[in-house]
Chain A
Amino acid sequence: MEHFFFHTMVGSIILIVLKVLAVLVPLLMGVAYLTWIERKVLAAIMLRKGPNVVGPFGLLQPFADAVKMIFKETIIPTKANRVLFFIAPILGFSLSMLAWAVIPTNDGWAVANLNIGILYLLAISSISIYATLLAGWGSNSKYALLGAMRAAAQMISYELAMGLVIASILLLVGSGNLNDIVLAQRHIWFFLPMFPMFIIFFISCLAETNRPPFDFAVGESELVAGFFAEYSSMAFGLFFLAEYGNMILMSAIISILFLGGWLPPFDCMPFTWIPGPFWLIIKILICLFCFIWVRSAFPRYRYDQLMRLGWKVFLPFTLAWVVLTAGFMMATGIGIYGGAV
């Protein structure tokens, strides 16, 4: 049995498929229930009840929505570029799933334990802009095109700040492996020494996932629904899944970079009883709650303010912080080449 899985080609392929399913199935369930959680939390903040008709506490609502979405008619605009129109949602959805390959859920528990895992995540998130751009251009509609342009400009601007935040963490850890990044936080989680970076990273994640208050790509009031205005049925569903999948992914990245990943808050008895993956899930849920909370608490930004924040505030500040971190490490000798922080 062991020989079959680890030493034959067919066996190792089956093993990889099983690993992938073990990540993707809970993830898709998570996406489905994230929509339910979002509606419930928003309702609670607005003093409403939220979905409560389908199933107990409305728990079957996501499935009702999914069935509705699947049975709707797929409409293709006459002048749309059919190939790009269909590639866009598939690309968006598969990229949002692909990034999960490197997320470790426990010590060494990742589908692919890359030593440049963090750069892989950056690369995937930068390609996922193509899904938006292709959808906007392919559907041959001015609203979609404007939405796509806005989204792409926004995502590029905030990716720079994110990249620099990640660079300052890489300086501290001395490795691009996500597993090492979590293990380097055994003594202190990075959100304490790097608090400003934590806040900037969280805000950049909001912008990167096109969530309120930075949801210009879908600004209903001026662009109908932005880049997916022309999509219906499951093609729309894929964009929807990708957006929520990206939210969970970004929360996971925040948890891993700043909140100690699978590590318990204190390395002593009652905390160590809970296994690592559950700690990661708890941290992801806390971040997701903040994502939803922000949505209900803040009005949408103005586009020029968004660009100003990205380029004139976050970029210089994170750049200065990278220099500061490097200077601090050189001066004190703390944390150089994977030492304890």
Chain B
Amino acid sequence: MMPIILFYIFATILLLSAVMVVCSRNSVHAALFLVLVFCNASGLFLLAGAEFLAILLIAIYSGAVMILFLFIVMTMQTNLVQLKEGMQSYMPVGFCIAAVLVVELIIVAINWHIDPQIAQASQQPLLQNMSNTQALGALIYTDYILLFQICGLVLLVAMIGAIVLTLRKRPNNRRQVVARQHMREPHQSLEMRSIELNKGVDELGGFLRPKETYFGVSQEDSFGPKPGDKMDITEKRQQMKEQSK
């Protein structure tokens, strides 16, 4: 009795929030409803006894995919008027795709019948004394190893593609070689000077007197002075003074 009640609760919330994903005007709300859909779907998995899939659905879909999705949606300025601008011109294409999908759904629905044995088959455990995590592993890593590896490869290609698309040289970034930065000793980058009162520090080279190692820390293609450059603060100050005059 209890599983049936739970099933209907999960299924109702799932369907309602799935409708809300499509209907809600705020894109962040839509994404959050999608998270709710995933959580309820994992509840359904639990009821079916597939606890491994249920947990994975939450950990991967709600925990990683949707969060990255929310990132983009939250930082995006969604202007409804702007979104509706191209509505007229895209409408025919949209209808065509929708029509194809509807026809496909109808074909599937006509040929679809429930196997009378399915209820019994789903209740039979694969092997005695084996949790479904183990059973899944025993299946994926033996019979379906090739498909499994190909899935991984597809994801790898997608990942490399994303990295290639976004990786570009940014000449304005300041980047350091962390190891070299950590190897630095205080005496290599700082020097102590005692300064007489009311004399100022300009003659001594100014407050900022980076030594050679300061540049040695920066990475080759980063912004600013290159390794080997020497920046004389005194000269620069004098230049600035002359400019201001």
Contact = CB atoms under 8 A, between A and B. Distances in A.
| Size band of the interface chain A makes with B | 20 to 34
Contacts of B240: none
B16 interface: no
Nearest to A134: B32
B178 A126 contact: no
Interface of B: 28, 32, 35, 51-52, 55-56, 58-59, 62-64, 67-68, 70-71, 74-75, 131, 133, 178
Interface stretch (A38-46, A112-120, A280-288): A112-120
Contacts of B35: 130
B25 to A, nearest CB: 13
Chain A facing B: main interface SS: helix
A71 B120 CA distance: 58
Given A123-B59, A133-B74, A137-B74, A114 B64 contact: no
B58 A127 contact: yes
Given A126-B63, A156-B67, A119 B75 contact: no
Contact of B178 (A122, A127, A134, A308): A308
Contacts of A156: 64, 67-68
A119 B42 CA distance: 14
Interface string A118-154: 0110110011011001100100000001000100110
B59 A152 contact: no
B134 to A, nearest CB: 9
Contacts of B62: 126-127, 130
Contact of B51 (A114, A152, A153): A114
A116 B178 CA distance: 39
Contacts of B52: 116, 119
Interface string A45-65: 000000000000000000000
A153 B70 CA distance: 11
B59 A176 contact: no
A305 interface: yes
A145 B74 contact: yes
Nearest to A177: B131
A84 B63 CA distance: 18
Contacts of B51: 114-116
Interface in A84-136: 84, 114-116, 119-120, 122-123, 126-127, 129-130, 133-134
B178 A133 contact: no
Most chain A Cβ neighbours within 10 Å, of B56, B63, B131, B178 = B63
B49 to A, nearest CB: 12
Contact of B67 (A122, A129, A308): A129
9 pairs of A and B residues whose beta carbons are closest in the complex: A126-B63, A123-B59, A123-B58, A119-B55, A115-B131, A123-B55, A126-B59, A137-B74, A122-B59
